[in-house]
Amino acid sequence: MGNILSLKNIVKIYPNGVMANKEVSIDIEENTIHAIVGENGAGKTTLMKIIFGEEAPQKGEIYYKGKKVNIKNSLDAIKMGIGMVHQNLMLAPDLTVAENLILGIEPLRYGVFLDLKKIIELTEEASKKFGFKVSLNKKISDLSIGKKQRVEILKALMRDAELIILDEPTSVLTPQETEVLFKSLKDLKNHGKTIIFISHKLKEVKLIADKVTVMRDGKVISTNDVNQLDEHMIAHMMVGRKINFKRIHKAKKVGDPLFIVKNLSYLSEENIFVLKNINFEVRAGEILGVAGVEGNGQTELVEILTGLREATSGQIFIGKENISGFSPRKIREEMVAHIPEDRMKNGVAEHATIEENIIVDRYYQDYFSNNKNLFLDWKYISKFSNDLIEKFKILTPSSKAVILSLSGGNIQKVVVARELSSNPQVIIAAQPTRGIDVGSEELIHNLLKDARDNGIATFLVSADLDEVLKLSTRIIVIYDGEIVARFDDIKDITSKVLGPYMLGVKKKGD
């Protein structure tokens, strides 16, 4: 079969001088699922934005269905039959899910504006067809990151494109949801569509893709049939070394309870109990992992624990101190670090520099300022930031680069670096390695393990069950706002064991 898309010698240099694509040539065969993998900052998203008309290359040619094309903007791309799911979700925060789904297609396909009833009808149909449950009337800004991701995927699928680009669509989907998505993607392929699929989860690449292209440092390293490679080989090609996929769940030394939650409940604005009588404690030196399907109260729980939302009842303690109702800043002052699930919403100021983002929560602390808090000590801040950039391998030309000029995974690394370097006694980590490449994931996992061995209490929430299993020393399962199972010895626990609890089929007495 022929190529639906051929890229020839694409070069992209950003205004700040970063050369993100260096003579990239890739052929995408029609009616295949073609994966693109590579370390954070390898140039994957840049290349996709070029195909989708959002960035202009300085050099190179694009052929679509055998014809040379000039894709000036995303409207051009959509008209040609290209759809894209963005890594940094591009939804309008103040509009509802239904409005977002229809935005863009509506005037194109129907010529006139539709009434709300018709919009709901169309979107309901699509959400059923593709098996994605979304609350159509909710505002985007009220959704968790996992739900936003589903809306963005549904939006691309609804457009009926011939070539669909998915830039890390599964970074916060649970295994169950990923399965649903993959079924849809296979269906689309069976109907003659072509899919470009970017993911850091190599297991998924193995599962779904026909071909895989490895990118490194803006260049294509290789393109292979997926069945010629295994996960370890792909990882090796990506980062140039062996990656350890082993579990590291044995606590070294467990101390006193450090982070304690008692009888915590939360009644939502819609009068639904989103959290029901949650009780747990995390001891010094432990990582307590939460397994659960996204949307079972995890987002609200983390927001309450970090002061972003108020509980309806119940208490939170750090050691003996009751911190219930404390503001986010006061909770931070209790040495609680927070890696938020949605880095763009709660993690960074996107137009500020790396340095500014590193000190944002602690600029008032003594060591960052001199002259009794009147002036910030920028020389020290620069050094501190540059040390973190080196330690976390954050790819950037300078510590003064603005956040938005970094690749998705590198933005995540800034957040993790800031939080892990804040000298915490408790870490609340939600999706800590979302969008992070396998090499840096290993680094962050090792740092969380070191934190554990140094007596820090960590509360871990992750949609990635492999991550929960790999890092946790104990696991709780949350379903419909309730803790339905607790596993204190997790040596033999697998995703198969957790599955029925996560789906609410099984419940274990406390």
Ligand X SMILES: Nc1ncnc2c1ncn2[C@@H]1O[C@H](COP(=O)(O)OP(=O)(O)OP(=O)(O)O)[C@@H](O)[C@H]1O
Binding stretches for ligand X (CB under 6 A): 14, 16, 18, 20, 38, 40-46, 87, 395, 405-410, 435, 437
Q: How far is the CB of 219 from ligand X (least distance, A)?
A: 12
Distance CA 434, CA 458 (A): 17
Q: How far is the CB of 198 from Mg ion (least distance, A)?
A: 7
The option from ligand X, Mg ion, none interacting with 204 (CB < 5 to 8 A, set by class) reads: none
Q: Is 38 in the site for Mg ion (CB under 5 A)?
A: no
Q: What 3-state class would DSSP assign to 254?
A: coil
Structure tokens at 351: 């137009």
Name the closest residue to ligand X (Cβ): 409
Q: How far is the CB of 254 from ligand X (least distance, A)?
A: 35
* Only segment of 60-68, 407-415, 437-445, 463-471 that touches Mg ion (CB under 5 A): 407-415
Q: Is 45 in the site for Mg ion (CB under 5 A)?
A: yes
Q: How far is the CB of 45 from ligand X (least distance, A)?
A: 3
The option from Mg ion, ligand X, none interacting with 456 (CB < 5 to 8 A, set by class) reads: none
Q: How far is the CB of 152 from Mg ion (least distance, A)?
A: 14
Q: How far is the CB of 57 from Mg ion (least distance, A)?
A: 17
The option from ligand X, Mg ion, none interacting with 458 (CB < 5 to 8 A, set by class) reads: none
Q: Is 408 in the site for Mg ion (CB under 5 A)?
A: yes
Q: Which is nearer to Mg ion, 323 or 436 (CB)?
A: 436
Q: Is 41 in the site for Mg ion (CB under 5 A)?
A: no
The option from ligand X, Mg ion, none interacting with 46 (CB < 5 to 8 A, set by class) reads: ligand X
Binding to Mg ion in span 65-124, by CB under 5 A:
87
Q: Which is nearer to ligand X, 43 or 175 (CB)?
A: 43
Q: Which is nearer to ligand X, 99 or 168 (CB)?
A: 168
Size of the site for Mg ion (CB under 5 A): 4
Q: How far is the CB of 429 from ligand X (least distance, A)?
A: 19
Q: Which is nearer to ligand X, 139 or 393 (CB)?
A: 393
CA-wise closest residue to 20 among 76, 58, 70: 58
Torsion angle defined by CA atoms of residues 46, 41, 471 and 275, in that order, rounded to the nearest 10 degrees: -40
The option from ligand X, Mg ion, none interacting with 478 (CB < 5 to 8 A, set by class) reads: none
Paired strand residues for 402: 353
Q: Is 410 in the site for Mg ion (CB under 5 A)?
A: no
Beta-carbon-side half-sphere exposure of residue 242 (alpha carbons within 13 Å): 3
CA-wise closest residue to 358 among 373, 336, 342, 378: 378
DSSP 139: B
Q: Which is nearer to Mg ion, 258 or 436 (CB)?
A: 436
Q: What 3-state class would DSSP assign to 71?
A: coil
Is the backbone of residue 33 left (phi > 0), alpha (psi -120 to 50) or beta?
beta
CB 294 within 8 A of CB 173: yes
Q: How far is the CB of 243 from ligand X (least distance, A)?
A: 15
CA-wise closest residue to 289 among 123, 131, 451, 428: 428
Q: Where are the beta strands (DSSP E) in 270-312?
A: 273-283, 287-291
CA-wise closest residue to 478 among 270, 170, 145, 174: 174
Question: Which DSSP string do the residues of 330-399 spell out, in sequence order?
Answer: HHHHTTEEEE-S-IIIII--TTSBHHHHHHTTTTTSGGGEETTTTEE-HHHHHHHHHHHHHHTT---S-T
Site residues, Mg ion (CB under 5 A): 45, 87, 407-408
